[in-house]
Amino acid sequence: MVHLSILDLAIIAEGDSTLDAINRTVKVAQHAEKLGYKRIWLAEHHNMKNIASSSTALLISHVAAHTTSIRVGSGGIMLPNHSPLSVAEAFGTLDILYPNRIELGLGRAPGTDQLTAMALRRGNSQSAYNFPSDIKEIQNYFYNTDADAKVRAFPGEGNPVPIYILGSSTDSAYLAAEMGLPYAFAAHFAPAQLTHAMQIYQNHFKPSRFLDQPYSIACVNVYTAPTEEEAHFLSTSLYKMFINLVTNQRGYLQPPGDLPETYNHPQVQHMVKNMLDCTFIGNPQNVKNDLNAFAEKLNLQEIMMSTNIYDTDAKLRSYQLVKEAFDH
């Protein structure tokens, strides 16, 4: 049986404030918890006026404080932007506050443009190349048993938060397999190498103290409504978001409706359709069937859903319809 979970980007909708977006993320988490979803993750982005999750650990704490049982984590923390010690301390603190509920998904991308990445990293342009060693350093802080170690993580030491490797290409697939860690692929915006990456991860996986066998997660876009027509209508907000992304006109999440004229440009349309290759839209039964077939084809243990719907009630309903379909 495939598990279901949620990725929420705390996207700010047109006409809303940053606080509105954060409150909506909390509503999604509370709703998901009642429905029995496995986890909700929040993603680190920077220099984007339409996304309210730049301070990801703080938002994770806020969501965890307003829920009681659902696992809350990062999808992810962009590790080159942070020192391993600061990550171990932050997530060790979160684990103290919310025991056995916090998860640490780690990515090597900047989560922003290169200029902002340089501002975050204070001139260290090589930090992305340290990704494997930085992960091991975090693990060493979590599992340290040497009381004489010169640098230790407090809190963090003795509170090993589960680590997931994130990726949107094949590089991290090799790393997750080598380290014996669970692997999550960002197919909701970069699906091109999904199949190849999953094959690499599953075929090269080495059992570890963390996992006996591969644990594969794919994040995809899911839009569900009582009818096919409504589901496709709601998904036009996602189309508009990606159109703005590829034309470098990033803005707030737009209401559903007619697509802008720029979508008729062949290059724009091609790029958007490629980004939407792992997008599932329809009524609950059709979405369930398509997701099950998708999971079986890729040997997935979990599907993480990103559902950027403008109307909060319609967004909550989409998650409910999918979960109910899978539960029956």
| Burial label, 146 (beta-carbon count in 10 A; 0-12, 13-18, 19+) | exposed
Residue 46 has a pLDDT of: 86
- Parts of the chain with a pLDDT under 50: none
Query: Domains of the chain (ranges plus CATH)?
Result: 3-228+279-327 (3.20.20.30)
The closest alpha carbon to 167, from 103, 109, 245, belongs to: 109
Max CA-CA distance within the chain? Answer: 64
The whole-number pLDDT of residue 117 equals: 66
DSSP of 160-223: ---EEEEESSSHHHHHHHHHT--EEE-TTT--TTHHHHHHHHHHH----SS-SS--EEEEEEEE
Task: Specify whether the CB–CB gap between 173 and 132 falls below 8 A.
Answer: no
Question: How far is Cα 166 from Cα 169, in angstroms, rounded to an integer?
Answer: 9
The predicted pLDDT at position 109 comes to 79
**Which DSSP string do the residues of 48-108 spell out, in sequence order?**
-TTB--SSHHHHHHHHHHT-SSSEEEEEEEEGGGS-HHHHHHHHHHHHHHSTTTEEEEEE-
Pairing of strands 302-306, 216-224: parallel
pLDDT digits (tens, 9 = 90+) for 155-201: 999 999 999 999 999 999 999 999 999 999 999 999 999 999 999 99
